[in-house]
Protein backbone atom coordinates (compact mmCIF):
# COMPACT_ATOMS: atom_id res chain seq x y z
CA UNK A 1 0.00 0.00 0.00
CA UNK A 2 1.29 3.44 -0.92
CA UNK A 3 0.91 6.35 1.50
CA UNK A 4 0.39 9.74 -0.13
CA UNK A 5 0.61 12.92 1.93
CA UNK A 6 -1.46 15.64 0.26
CA UNK A 7 -0.50 19.22 1.09
CA UNK A 8 -4.05 20.52 1.34
CA UNK A 9 -7.36 20.10 3.14
CA UNK A 10 -9.27 21.67 0.23
CA UNK A 11 -12.18 19.37 -0.74
CA UNK A 12 -11.68 19.75 -4.51
CA UNK A 13 -7.95 18.97 -4.20
CA UNK A 14 -8.73 15.93 -2.04
CA UNK A 15 -11.27 14.79 -4.63
CA UNK A 16 -8.70 15.22 -7.43
CA UNK A 17 -6.08 13.25 -5.51
CA UNK A 18 -8.55 10.46 -4.74
CA UNK A 19 -9.57 10.21 -8.41
CA UNK A 20 -5.93 10.10 -9.57
CA UNK A 21 -4.77 7.65 -6.90
CA UNK A 22 -7.57 5.23 -7.82
CA UNK A 23 -6.14 5.17 -11.34
CA UNK A 24 -2.45 5.03 -10.35
CA UNK A 25 -2.36 2.64 -7.38
CA UNK A 26 -3.92 -0.72 -6.56
CA UNK A 27 -3.87 0.17 -2.86
CA UNK A 28 -3.24 3.57 -1.33
CA UNK A 29 -3.99 5.77 1.63
CA UNK A 30 -4.34 9.51 1.09
CA UNK A 31 -3.58 11.73 4.08
CA UNK A 32 -4.54 15.39 3.59
CA UNK A 33 -2.62 17.84 5.80
CA UNK A 34 -2.95 21.57 6.37
CA UNK A 35 0.04 23.53 5.05
CA UNK A 36 1.14 26.75 6.67
CA UNK A 37 2.59 29.62 4.64
CA UNK A 38 1.02 28.46 1.38
CA UNK A 39 0.94 31.19 -1.27
CA UNK A 40 -2.09 33.48 -1.03
CA UNK A 41 -2.72 34.04 -4.75
CA UNK A 42 0.09 33.12 -7.14
CA UNK A 43 0.16 35.44 -10.15
CA UNK A 44 2.65 33.77 -12.48
CA UNK A 45 3.79 30.31 -13.46
CA UNK A 46 6.91 30.36 -11.26
CA UNK A 47 4.90 31.27 -8.16
CA UNK A 48 2.39 28.51 -8.88
CA UNK A 49 5.14 25.90 -9.32
CA UNK A 50 6.94 27.04 -6.17
CA UNK A 51 3.65 26.79 -4.28
CA UNK A 52 3.05 23.22 -5.51
CA UNK A 53 6.58 22.16 -4.55
CA UNK A 54 6.25 23.84 -1.14
CA UNK A 55 3.02 21.95 -0.51
CA UNK A 56 4.50 18.58 -1.56
CA UNK A 57 7.64 18.97 0.56
CA UNK A 58 5.69 20.29 3.56
CA UNK A 59 3.25 17.37 3.34
CA UNK A 60 6.09 14.82 3.49
CA UNK A 61 7.63 16.65 6.44
CA UNK A 62 4.32 16.33 8.31
CA UNK A 63 3.87 12.66 7.31
CA UNK A 64 7.47 11.36 7.17
CA UNK A 65 6.41 7.76 6.59
CA UNK A 66 4.62 8.73 3.34
CA UNK A 67 5.85 7.24 0.08
CA UNK A 68 4.94 10.42 -1.79
CA UNK A 69 4.19 14.05 -1.04
CA UNK A 70 1.68 15.72 -3.30
CA UNK A 71 1.26 19.47 -3.78
CA UNK A 72 -1.45 21.13 -5.85
CA UNK A 73 -1.40 24.88 -6.43
CA UNK A 74 -3.73 27.00 -8.50
CA UNK A 75 -3.09 30.50 -9.73
CA UNK A 76 -3.39 33.07 -12.45
CA UNK A 77 -1.13 34.04 -15.28
CA UNK A 78 -1.42 36.84 -17.77
CA UNK A 79 0.03 37.22 -21.24
CA UNK A 80 -0.77 39.26 -24.34
CA UNK A 81 -3.68 36.90 -25.08
CA UNK A 82 -5.47 37.33 -21.78
CA UNK A 83 -5.78 36.12 -18.20
CA UNK A 84 -5.83 32.41 -17.42
CA UNK A 85 -6.53 30.27 -14.38
CA UNK A 86 -4.21 27.29 -14.22
CA UNK A 87 -2.57 24.96 -11.75
CA UNK A 88 0.56 22.96 -11.15
CA UNK A 89 1.14 19.67 -9.37
CA UNK A 90 4.33 18.52 -7.66
CA UNK A 91 4.94 14.99 -6.45
CA UNK A 92 8.01 14.16 -4.38
CA UNK A 93 9.26 10.71 -3.43
CA UNK A 94 11.58 9.48 -0.68
CA UNK A 95 14.66 10.00 -2.88
CA UNK A 96 13.78 13.68 -3.25
CA UNK A 97 12.88 13.41 -6.94
CA UNK A 98 10.20 15.90 -7.91
CA UNK A 99 7.74 15.31 -10.73
CA UNK A 100 5.85 18.30 -12.11
CA UNK A 101 2.85 18.76 -14.39
CA UNK A 102 0.43 21.54 -15.16
CA UNK A 103 -3.32 21.56 -15.45
CA UNK A 104 -5.26 22.96 -18.35
CA UNK A 105 -5.64 26.73 -18.55
CA UNK A 106 -8.99 28.44 -18.89
CA UNK A 107 -9.37 32.04 -19.97
CA UNK A 108 -10.96 34.50 -17.58
CA UNK A 109 -12.11 38.09 -18.10
CA UNK A 110 -9.21 40.57 -17.95
CA UNK A 111 -10.85 42.51 -15.11
CA UNK A 112 -10.25 39.53 -12.79
CA UNK A 113 -6.52 40.24 -12.99
CA UNK A 114 -7.03 43.93 -12.39
CA UNK A 115 -9.19 43.37 -9.31
CA UNK A 116 -6.53 41.17 -7.71
CA UNK A 117 -3.51 43.24 -8.75
CA UNK A 118 -5.13 46.45 -7.45
CA UNK A 119 -5.93 44.79 -4.13
CA UNK A 120 -9.71 45.10 -4.52
CA UNK A 121 -9.93 41.37 -3.70
CA UNK A 122 -7.37 38.98 -2.22
CA UNK A 123 -7.94 35.86 -4.27
CA UNK A 124 -9.57 34.54 -7.41
CA UNK A 125 -12.13 32.78 -5.23
CA UNK A 126 -13.44 36.18 -4.06
CA UNK A 127 -14.12 37.23 -7.66
CA UNK A 128 -15.54 33.88 -8.70
CA UNK A 129 -17.90 33.80 -5.70
CA UNK A 130 -19.30 37.19 -6.77
CA UNK A 131 -19.57 36.18 -10.43
CA UNK A 132 -21.08 32.74 -9.82
CA UNK A 133 -23.00 33.17 -6.59
CA UNK A 134 -21.34 29.94 -5.38
CA UNK A 135 -19.84 30.25 -1.89
CA UNK A 136 -16.44 28.58 -1.51
CA UNK A 137 -16.34 27.84 -5.23
CA UNK A 138 -12.67 26.81 -4.90
CA UNK A 139 -13.78 23.92 -2.69
CA UNK A 140 -16.12 22.63 -5.41
CA UNK A 141 -16.10 23.25 -9.18
CA UNK A 142 -13.60 26.11 -9.17
CA UNK A 143 -13.27 28.80 -11.80
CA UNK A 144 -12.60 26.10 -14.41
CA UNK A 145 -15.90 24.39 -13.63
CA UNK A 146 -17.80 27.65 -13.70
CA UNK A 147 -16.32 28.77 -17.01
CA UNK A 148 -16.92 25.37 -18.65
CA UNK A 149 -20.50 25.00 -17.38
CA UNK A 150 -19.20 22.16 -15.16
CA UNK A 151 -18.18 20.07 -18.18
CA UNK A 152 -14.66 20.04 -16.70
CA UNK A 153 -14.02 20.99 -13.08
CA UNK A 154 -11.11 22.00 -10.90
CA UNK A 155 -10.89 18.43 -9.59
CA UNK A 156 -10.83 17.03 -13.14
CA UNK A 157 -7.97 19.35 -14.08
CA UNK A 158 -5.91 18.50 -11.00
CA UNK A 159 -6.64 14.76 -11.41
CA UNK A 160 -5.11 14.80 -14.89
CA UNK A 161 -2.08 16.81 -13.77
CA UNK A 162 -1.46 14.47 -10.81
CA UNK A 163 -1.33 11.47 -13.14
CA UNK A 164 1.07 13.33 -15.43
CA UNK A 165 3.31 14.50 -12.54
CA UNK A 166 3.76 10.86 -11.54
CA UNK A 167 5.33 10.31 -14.99
CA UNK A 168 8.67 11.27 -13.43
CA UNK A 169 8.23 8.45 -10.92
CA UNK A 170 6.92 5.92 -13.46
CA UNK A 171 9.84 6.54 -15.84
CA UNK A 172 12.56 7.49 -13.40
CA UNK A 173 15.19 5.56 -15.37
CA UNK A 174 15.00 8.13 -18.17
CA UNK A 175 16.03 10.88 -15.77
CA UNK A 176 19.32 9.24 -14.82
CA UNK A 177 22.44 11.10 -15.96
CA UNK A 178 24.24 8.04 -17.32
CA UNK A 179 21.32 7.12 -19.56
CA UNK A 180 21.04 10.65 -20.97
CA UNK A 181 24.77 10.66 -21.68
CA UNK A 182 24.70 7.28 -23.46
CA UNK A 183 21.62 8.00 -25.56
CA UNK A 184 22.84 11.36 -26.80
CA UNK A 185 26.51 10.55 -27.52
CA UNK A 186 27.71 12.25 -30.65
Range with lowest mean pLDDT among 43-52, 98-107, 118-127, 150-159: 118-127
The predicted structure's pLDDT at residue 183:
64
pTM, two decimal places: 0.93
**Run of H or E residues at 132:** helix 124-132
Beta strands 82-93 and 68-79 are antiparallel
For the chain, domains (ranges, CATH) are: 2-107+153-172 (3.90.950.10)
Range with lowest mean pLDDT among 125-129, 148-152, 176-180: 176-180
The 10s digit of each residue's pLDDT in 3-42 is 999 999 999 999 999 999 999 999 999 999 999 887 789 9
Task: Give the list of residues 6+ apart from residue 143 with CB closer than 8 angstroms, or none.
Answer: 85, 106, 108, 124, 128, 137, 154
Amino acid sequence: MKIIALGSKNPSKIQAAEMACKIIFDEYKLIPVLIERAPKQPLDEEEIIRGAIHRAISAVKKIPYADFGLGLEGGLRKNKYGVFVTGWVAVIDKSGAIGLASTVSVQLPDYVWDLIKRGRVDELEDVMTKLSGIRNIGDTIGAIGFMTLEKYTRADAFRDAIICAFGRMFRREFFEEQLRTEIFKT
